[in-house]
Chain A
Amino acid sequence: MQKHTISLLVDNEPGVLSRVSGLFSGRGFNIESLCVAETSDPAISRMTLVTRGDDAIAEQIKKQLNKLINVIKVHDLTGTEYVEREMALIKVQAKADYRAEILRIVDIFRCNVVDVSPAHYTIEVTGTADKLGAILGLLKPMGIKEIARTGAIALGREKKDKAGATS
């Protein structure tokens, strides 16, 4: 069951999200995450969707998405060069013993502390799903109180130069 990151351009209209999510629930495909926002053209939104399935299922998912009238473009980024990022806000307990340790982790992962209280830090972290997994693993022993994740967003990479050298 391979992970597929699919980038969609869709009409920015009411009901389009439910057409896409309804397709997944109606046909028994799973969604790991789904992210939607307007593009530079206000008539068009981009959805980034992470799903799992074997080749045949991934193929059906792409064909079915393409069949939706409001879907303009379907691009499966999996197997191509692309950049993927996710953001999380993590509210972690910050007792006196751990406060310094948490800040060291924040520093190593290049995150920001965006809210501080006597007993908690709220940390903003951006990166791949692996990076988020790693920091969550390290913070877990301190006691994570709440977490909010955006789900992945992704874009294909452009070719670097004519020779294709990326150094």
Chain B
Amino acid sequence: MVVSKKETNDKKKISGLFEDLALLESYARELFSFSPLPICYVSPNGVILEVNPAFEKISGYNIYEVIGEPIENFFDKEKIRELSEETINKGFVKTKEISVFTKEKRKITVSVFTALRKSKEGEIIGYFVGFFDLSDVKKKEKELQEKMEELKRFNRLAVGRELKMIELKKEIKELKEKLEKSKPST
């Protein structure tokens, strides 16, 4: 069988294109994996199609347990529905609080951001969901709240004591005056 020069060139070109595609693919995958923030990619009908290692870590589920599952299995059902609608209508969502449910049945409060993807024909083809853990922020918020309450209590006590002191001083003054008056004049 004789292979023409054109055929050989075409084969070389195709092979080169496959190599470029493989490079691009590995770049995209590595970038996605690199992100310390949990990210997932969701299909237009709400099924998770991709997650990064940070998502696996925070949720406690592995990739096989997450991909192909409805997104509402991992987030607060009501809020994720609202979030999906808002993303589809607006094209993105910037910071919204929502709960993530882990494999160990823990509830984690996170701040979510989303971005819609469209095909070149303008059709919705999915959306990205990224989030960051608010657990530490929430913990600090709670600690701060407790400190505030403590301070308020202390303040109430201190003010109460101050008022009592004023009252006592007044009483002493009145008693002193009475005593002065009751003394026989010389």
Tell me, yes or no, whether A binds B: no
